[in-house]
Structures are given as C-alpha cells and as structure tokens.
Amino acid sequence: MKRINLLKITALAVLGMFSSSSVMAQTPMKESIATNLGGTRFVITAPSSIVGIKKINYATWGAAASPTISNVTVEKAFDTLGAATLLNGTGAYPSLTGKFALIFRGGGITFSDKVNRCITAGAIGVIIVNNVPGDPVGMAPTPAGSTVAIPVLMISDIDGQAISDVIKSATPGSGIVKLTLGTWNTGGTHDLGILAPFQAIPHALNMPLHQFAGSASVPAYRMYAGGAIANYGTSTETSVTVNDSIYWTPTGGTPSFVSVQSYTVPSISVLDSIRFGFASAPYSLPLLPTVTGKYEHKYSIQYSSADDFPQDNTTTITHYVNDSIFCRGNYDYANSRPRVSIGIQPGGGTTNFLMGNMYYVKNGGYAARSMQFSLSVNDVPTLSALTTATIFLYKWKDGTAGAGSLDSFVQAGELTPVGVNVKNFTTADSSGRTITLDIKDIIDPASTKLVILEDTTWYYAVVEVPVTSFIGMDESINFFSRSYAQYKNLGSKDGAGIIDNAIGAFFNDNGNFNSTATNTAFPFPFAASATIPSNVFHVDSVFYDKADMVPAIALITSKQKKSASISGIVKTIGTTSIYPNPATKGSMTVNIALEKNSNSVVYRLTDAIGRTMYSETHKNVLKEQFEINTANYPTGNYFLMIITDNGFDVKKVTIQN
C-alpha cells in the first residue's frame, strides 16, 4: 500500500476569544505515545477537601516541572486578573515569594502580562484559572515566541474556584493549599496509577438505543477490559490487577451492578514505567439495554503494596445509551452538542482538509438526519473568512477495492458517498460554535429524500473544512487501547475487517493520494510505513502516532425507522447540465441557469472520498457556461458541487481521460 503524507500540526494557541458556549484550546497534536501517556501531573496535596489530581494545560513557553516541585504553597495574587502591579507582600496581602500564584484568566490581560506580574512579585510558578466553563485551554505568549523561567499552567474554572475559596476562607498567609507538580513521579515508593484516557472503551461513548437489539455477537460492539498502568514510584510492582466494575443506570433510575471484568499486568518496573494489560478475550455486555440510560465502567487497581498516592487508582468511563446519537467522544446532552476540549489544524495544504469518524450500524432502517461539528479561526471572532464547510456521509465496505482483502484500511474504491451538505459562513457564525447540518441525499440534494442507514454497515461521517480553520476534538479519550486490544486478541495489526481503529482519517487535498483503488486513506490514529520510527509505540506493521484525541463529530439519526422519502416541497436552485459526461477529452462544459441571481457561486469538484480537486468562485451569476479542465485528474467518479446564495446542487461526474 502507498503511504499518504501524514500532516504535522501547527503549534498555535488562543488568548481566550471563545465564548462560554464552546471553548477550544488550539495546540499541536502530540506525536509520541510516550509523550501522550506521560505528561505533567498537577496534584493538590492539601487540604483534604480539595486533594487530588487536577486536569491542566501546561504552557510550553514556561519552564518544565523538573525536578518535581513538592508541597509548595499556593497563594492568591492580590489583583486576581493581573490588571495592575501586584501588591502581594505589602500590608495584609501575603507574599508570593517562593509560592505558586493563583490568578484568573480574563480582563483583556494577556497570559504573559499576568505571569510577568506574578514573577515580579516573587512567584516560582503561576496557575491561571479558566474564566469560562470547560477544560483548561491553550495559552499563547505575548510576544509570540517569548518564554519565562517558571512553570505556567491553566486549570478549569471549577478546580480553580475551589482552590480560591479555600484560600479566601483561611487565615491570610497560612499556606493552607499545597501542590506537587512533576513530569512523572510525586515522590512515592509504591505509586501506581491508571492512565485514565488509555482504558479500552466502547465502539462509541454515545450510541442510539435502537442499535443494541441483537447486538451481543457483533464484533464492532464487543467490549475489552484493559488499558495502561503507570509506575510513578521507585519500586517494581508485580501481580497488578485492574477491575472493570460495570454499572447500569436507566434514565431517571438508580444504578445497579452488572458484572466485573478484570485484567492483570504481571509486573511493571521503574524502567518500563508504562505497561498495557488486557483480558484474554473481548466480552459482550451481559445486560443489553431496553431503555435509554448509561453504563459506567469503574476501573480500580489492586496490588500487594499500600499505594503512597491512591488518588489516581480509580477512573470511570461513561457509556451513554440515547435515543438517536452516535458520538465517538463525549457528548453534552444539556446543550445538544459534542464536547470539544481542543482544536487542531493541519500545517500544510492550500484549500481544505478532512476529518471524520467511523460508526457501525447494526440495525438499519433509521435515517441519517444530521451531523454536528465545531470550527474556529485563530484570533478571529467569526467564521466568515472560511467561506464554506462541507459534510459527507459514506458507506464503507472493506475488501471491495484492490485485491478485495479485508485489511481494515479505508481505500477510495471502498467508499460510496450517500449524503452531503454545505455550510456558507457569514459574520453571524461565531468562531468555536457548534454547527449542525442536515444530511441531504447526494444524488438529489434539493429533494426531501432521506438517507436511510443499512443493516450491518460502516458509515464514515466526514467534515471538509478550510485549511485555515481549527476543527473541534475531544482530547479526554482515545481509541488506542481498544485497537491494541483487538490486535492482542485477534493476532493481526487491528483485526482484519474490524474497523474500530478507523476512528477518523486526517489528510488534505494535496497529499500523495490519487483516489485510486490501491491507495489508502490511513485511519486516525494509525499510519503505515516500511520503516517504523523508534519514537512511537507500534503494533505489528501499524504504528500509532496520533493517539490522544478523537474528532468531536456526531452523527444524528432518526429515533424511529423511516421510509426512504417523505412528502414535502422540492426546492431547486435552477437547472444544471454537464457535457460530455463521462468527460473523455480532458474537459467538460458546465451550463447553469439559476432561478434567481446569486452574488457568488462556488463550483467545487470533489473526488470519491470528498477531497476537493478543483474550486472556483464566480460573482453575480444568473446564467453562465464555462469549461473545467479534467486532463490531470485520474479516471474515476467525481462530484461537482454548485454552491449558491440560495442553496446548492450536486452532480455526479465520471472522468475517463
């Protein structure tokens, strides 16, 4: 198979332009599994009311927490926004000298200004509290590229406010709040921890109830007990057992115990400080749901020694059963959108890039109603500069391209487009917001025909967006351990024909991918190479280099089974003709007559997997005729999208040069 060019991710950060409705950090995607799993641990060690590991976003322009900083006092900055010179150390305001300063985000003050005022006041580290709900976000220095000589990190609004409240309630200068910060250990001899994002998780964290009927034997829906354990201490530990205790809670009901699954890590030394363990075989949920609700997988560690730091010996993964939503990552049901914790963009290309998730449909007959995703533009409050974004829904059948073998890699000849829609952005579209687009039948998008999902079929939900944008991701979970468990259980690189590893594909329109049956769009987080780099974790011929997040893209289905079409008024934009079709002499003529004048018309030719091959914008159009040069495009099927102010149309085109 031909390898596609994997995209590097640009190292961009945001100062805080997003509203509280959707907060993204914009940071580079990590390249190494060791980096992803290790990270920096931020621990509140006192008082007991707020003790524990807190989620942070660590500023790369600050100093590393090495060696470990242990039991240092946290003190509030006098001016909590850093809008003026800090008066800590004068009058009634406790000194920051030798302490970590707690300061809040906001007020129009840059992160660098806040940090430098804390440094001037004697702080040896700075904790910035997010001023909006959600995970900590990325922080950019001002000016770009500048650095400071102390650690700088952000914590969530909830964690930060809890710390602030404890300090305010105590005697000034008492040093009641203590922290420990380290790149690996916290000073214990016996200290194991569950790496929470790296436990094997379900096919999707959010699935429709209608998919569970008769699904006990479906490979795609099987569960795996397993994941990663870290040794943060100084002693080799043996016979480590991790229990996955499963509970079911129906909507509006109370939790009940379902079963327990376990796996064992025989030993984990200090030198080999991250180990994966898995149960010998996958399992099906012993209690399939008949109503909506949630499963909770509560992981806990057992081993012979008393753990010096037990706060990270448990973690819970929640698996929601809803009425209509597929979502690989977490979903915010209160606000009806996928949860977004970070935004990424490729560092190359000229026009668009694609990101997507694979979903397996066991029980067909339900309509694919819409897709949800979020976009942002760095330091720009609206999305108007992006022009358009496009969604595609594909059926995927492994083994229909090339030699026909089941290899679990998505190849162009194995994808059949079934749904599409286009979003034209205006100044009313705020950066970072959730976008919901209906899925239109790709053959007749102007009609009211629904895309009906088929039995036992994989569907690929893809978003194509401009290369200048950031697309929302869920950084709190990943599918590495599930894919690794499939490999361990089935003895192949991912379990031939089981596409659980294809949680998304990430590639752009100018990569080495020609849309032929023998070329492959490698699924995220997988890639392939004849020479496997030594700095990434690999299994067999597959190595994992993008393993720490999933696209925050949801597929919304109907709640009940639907017929293939519904009654309604068919809206058209006009008439379009393309000739010759198939295009056989290196060009084709497009003839368009709109029902009403359009200020702009975007003509976009996409290949079989949705990549834009050609795009051109014409102004002030009612009727026109022009030619598209097809001489340099490989033989195959394409789609010409015609995007106007009043709607869009799609025409299937065959090129036979």
Q: Cα(104)–Cα(521) distance, rounded to whole angstroms?
A: 43
- Write down all domains in the chain, each with its CATH number in brackets: 40-182 (3.50.30.30), 192-323 (2.60.40.10), 574-655 (2.60.40.3080)
**Bridge pairing between strands 206-208 and 314-322:** parallel
Given this model, what pLDDT does residue 541 score? 33
DSSP string for 273-284: -EEEEE-SS-B-
Interval 191-218 mean pLDDT: 90
Give strand ranges (E) for 323-365: 325-327, 331-332, 337-338, 342-344, 352-361
The most confident of the ranges 97-111, 135-149, 514-528 is 97-111
Q: What's the whole-model pTM score? A: 0.78
The most confident of the ranges 227-236, 339-348, 358-367 is 358-367
Q: Cα(501)–Cα(410) distance, rounded to whole angstroms?
A: 11
Given this model, what pLDDT does residue 64 score? 84
pLDDT digits (tens, 9 = 90+) for 61-89: 999 887 788 899 999 999 999 999 999 99
Q: Cα(413)–Cα(553) distance, rounded to whole angstroms?
A: 24
pLDDT digits (tens, 9 = 90+) for 13-22: 222 222 222 2
Given this model, what pLDDT does residue 548 score? 59
Q: Cα(567)–Cα(569) distance, rounded to whole angstroms?
A: 7
Tokens 């081993």 label which residue?
303
Q: What percent of the chain has pLDDT over 70?
A: 80
From 185-194, 489-498, 550-559, the region with the lowest mean pLDDT: 489-498
Given this model, what pLDDT does residue 7 score? 23
By the 8 A CB rule, do 61 and 27 touch?
Answer: no
pLDDT digits (tens, 9 = 90+) for 566-618: 555 556 788 888 999 998 888 999 999 999 998 888 888 887 766 778 888 89
Interval 119-133 mean pLDDT: 94
pLDDT band at 278 (very low <50, low <70, confident <90, very high): confident
Closest CA to 500 of 510, 490, 508, 509: 490
- C-alpha torsion sign, points 291, 292, 293, 295: positive
Give Cα 120 to chain centroid, integer Å: 38
Q: What is the DSSP letter of 161?
A: H
pLDDT digits (tens, 9 = 90+) for 611-645: 778 888 899 999 999 999 988 888 888 888 888 88
Higher pLDDT, 133 or 390: 390
Given this model, what pLDDT does residue 134 score? 72
Q: What percent of the chain has pLDDT over 90?
A: 39
pLDDT band at 192 (very low <50, low <70, confident <90, very high): very high
Given this model, what pLDDT does residue 625 score? 94
- Please give the angle made by the CA atoms of 493, 494 and 500, to the nearest 5 degrees: 160
Given this model, what pLDDT does residue 6 score? 21
pLDDT band at 465 (very low <50, low <70, confident <90, very high): confident
Q: Cα(325)–Cα(308) distance, rounded to whole angstroms?
A: 41
From 58-67, 129-138, 192-201, 518-527, the region with the lowest mean pLDDT: 518-527
Interval 546-566 mean pLDDT: 82
Q: Cα(514)–Cα(609) distance, rounded to whole angstroms?
A: 10
Given this model, what pLDDT does residue 154 score? 94
pLDDT band at 42 (very low <50, low <70, confident <90, very high): confident
Given this model, what pLDDT does residue 412 score? 62
Given this model, what pLDDT does residue 55 score? 83
Q: Cα(507)–Cα(340) distance, rounded to whole angstroms?
A: 21
Return the bridge partners of 76, or none.
102
Given this model, what pLDDT does residue 499 score? 43
Query: What rounded mean pLDDT belongs to the chain?
Result: 79
